[in-house]
């Protein structure tokens, strides 16, 4: 059971980006889980919303896509920004039956069998990235290693020419950066512009890749519109890179902070799969996921009206003490580990298998080569309420 702690309520503000870069959100989440698990968060520059912080509540809401819809957006947005333009058109922002139709187009590419067939090429990509980082000696693990592995892999799957991988790396780095919002917006527009050209080319001359699948797809007897193709390409690129990048870097930071766990995996490589699961739980890089109530419902006696935003705080759910033993301890032997870092239900992450293999290959490459990883400066955490983890992780890499 959730027992209310003796301490008084902390000030609650889950939408302050500084909380995630310089504070401790777990203090607020811990109190909310115990005392007010369905909390009405008052409006700030963002609209007010219901905050779900317990594992079972988040899991149940994920499962009920009819009541908790993705179609109006899955992230908190200022009211004057309006509804997400991808609403009802992309994998992340659709409900059934449209979601199942879109997912059906690309599902096979992310299946266990397809990822296994790609694994040798993924291993080669990972080795090349680690080689370059070792040549540098000192690098930013986020930019030079963690960001490149998933980006290069998804680019290959999408049919992006290898000569363009670095261009998309630069654009995604700018689009995900914590700097100037205008620069981020221009970078994102350039990504959309890139896929506008690529999808047109693939529609004319399709090949064996994801962009060709989307560019030639028909749903309900109609060709998928060019704009929908572009938005879904963007969705795949972002979904296939951002969270894996931060999880890979956040996991490395966790290993640096808990070196005995790294040694444990080094001594028993059979622990690598469970270590990856613990990295995903521990980092929980998607800080929040939003749904919109489609009808009046009730959770723990709180009445949620149709149209109300309902926000799942995934890092809180993944530290729920009623589900996870000793949840605030990072341990690579944790089993079971039924975390929600990759979602649940209809919107369980399409690329979950891909992400796990990418993390396993990256850490495995470092372990196989007995690479010594040491902090070479102060890590900088992201100033964001959307994703959390290292923005910069200076490390020294030394080959054995």
CATH of the domain at 97: 1.10.630.10
Burial class of residue 270 (count of CB atoms within 10 Å of its CB; 0-12, 13-18, 19+): exposed
Please check whether residue 237 is in contact with residue 158, taking contact to mean a CB–CB distance below 8 angstroms.
yes
Could you give phi then psi for residue 13, rounded to 5 degrees? -155, 95
Q: Is 79 a member of any domain?
A: yes
To the nearest 10 degrees (0 to 180), the angle between helices 165-176 and 148-158 is 120
Q: Is 2 a member of any domain?
A: no
Q: DSSP string covering 337-360, please? A: ----TT--GGGS-TTHHHHHHHHH
Q: Is 294 a member of any domain?
A: yes
Q: Is 9 a member of any domain?
A: no
Q: Is 63 a member of any domain?
A: yes
Distance CA 230, CA 245 (A): 22
Q: Is 6 a member of any domain?
A: no
Render each residue's pLDDT in the chain as its tens digit; 400 residues. 565 444 689 999 999 999 999 999 999 999 999 999 999 999 999 999 999 999 999 999 999 999 999 999 999 987 656 666 666 678 877 888 888 999 999 999 999 999 999 999 999 999 999 999 999 999 999 999 999 999 999 999 999 999 999 999 999 988 877 667 888 889 999 999 999 999 999 999 999 999 999 999 999 889 999 999 999 999 999 989 999 999 999 999 999 999 999 999 999 999 999 999 999 999 999 999 999 999 999 999 999 999 999 999 999 999 999 999 999 999 999 999 999 999 999 889 999 999 999 999 999 999 999 999 999 999 999 999 999 999 999 999 999 8
Half-sphere exposure of 42 (CA within 13 A, CB side): 4
Residue 42 lies in domain = 17-398
Please check whether residue 127 is in contact with residue 134, taking contact to mean a CB–CB distance below 8 angstroms.
no
Q: How many domains does the chain have?
A: 1
Q: Is 199 a member of any domain?
A: yes
Rg from Cα positions in the chain: 21
* C-alpha dihedral, 295 to 301 to 303 to 309, nearest 10°: -80
Long-range contacts formed by 17-23: CB under 8 A, 24+ apart: 17/383, 17/384, 17/385, 18/383, 19/385, 20/287, 20/381, 20/382, 20/383, 20/384, 20/385, 20/388, 21/380, 21/381, 21/382, 21/383, 21/384, 21/391, 22/381
Q: Is 376 a member of any domain?
A: yes
Strand partners, 373: 397
Distance CA 275, CA 94 (A): 32
Could you check whether the bond before residue 336 is cis, i.e. omega within 30 degrees of 0? Answer: yes
């Amino acid at each position: 059971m959730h027992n209310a702690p003796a301490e008084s309520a902390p000030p609650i503000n889950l939408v302050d980006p500084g909380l995630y870069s310089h504070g401790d959100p777990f203090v607020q989440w811990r109190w909310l889980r115990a005392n007010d698990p369905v909390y009405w968060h008052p409006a700030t520059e963002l609209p007010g919303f219901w905050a779900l912080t317990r594992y079972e509540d988040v899991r149940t809401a994920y499962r009920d896509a009819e009541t908790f819809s993705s179609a109006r957006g899955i992230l908190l947005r200022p009211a004057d920004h309006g509804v997400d333009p991808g609403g009802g058109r992309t994998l992340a922002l659709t409900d059934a039956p449209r979601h199942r139709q879109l997912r059906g187009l690309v599902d096979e590419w992310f299946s266990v069998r397809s990822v296994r067939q790609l694994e040798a090429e993924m291993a080669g990509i990972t080795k090349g990235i680690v080689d370059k980082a070792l040549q540098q000696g000192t690098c930013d693990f986020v930019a030079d290693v963690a960001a490149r592995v998933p980006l290069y892999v998804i680019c290959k799957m999408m049919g992006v020419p290898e000569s363009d991988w670095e261009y998309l790396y630069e654009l995604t780095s700018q689009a995900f950066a914590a700097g100037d919002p205008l620069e981020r917006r221009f970078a994102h527009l350039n990504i959309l512009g890139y896929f506008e050209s690529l999808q047109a080319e693939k529609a004319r001359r399709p090949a064996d890749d994801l962009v060709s699948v989307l560019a030639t797809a028909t749903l309900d007897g109609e060709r998928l519109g060019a704009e929908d193709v572009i938005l879904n390409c963007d969705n795949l690129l972002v979904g296939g890179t951002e969270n894996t990048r931060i999880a890979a870097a956040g996991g490395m930071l966790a290993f640096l902070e808990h070196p005995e766990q790294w040694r444990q995996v080094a001594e028993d490589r059979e622990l690598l799969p469970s270590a990856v699961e613990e990295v995903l739980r521990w980092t929980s890089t998607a800080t929040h996921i939003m749904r919109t109530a489609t009808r009046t419902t009730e959770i723990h006696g709180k009445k949620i009206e149709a149209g109300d935003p309902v926000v799942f705080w995934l890092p809180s759910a993944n530290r729920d003490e009623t589900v996870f033993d000793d949840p605030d301890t990072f341990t690579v032997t944790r089993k079971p580990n039924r975390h929600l870092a990759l979602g649940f239900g209809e919107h369980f992450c399409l690329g979950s298998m891909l992400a796990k293999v990418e993390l396993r290959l990256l850490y495995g490459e470092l372990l196989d080569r007995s690479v010594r990883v040491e902090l070479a400066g102060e890590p900088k955490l992201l100033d964001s309420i959307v994703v959390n983890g290292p923005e910069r992780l200076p490390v020294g890499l030394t080959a054995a």
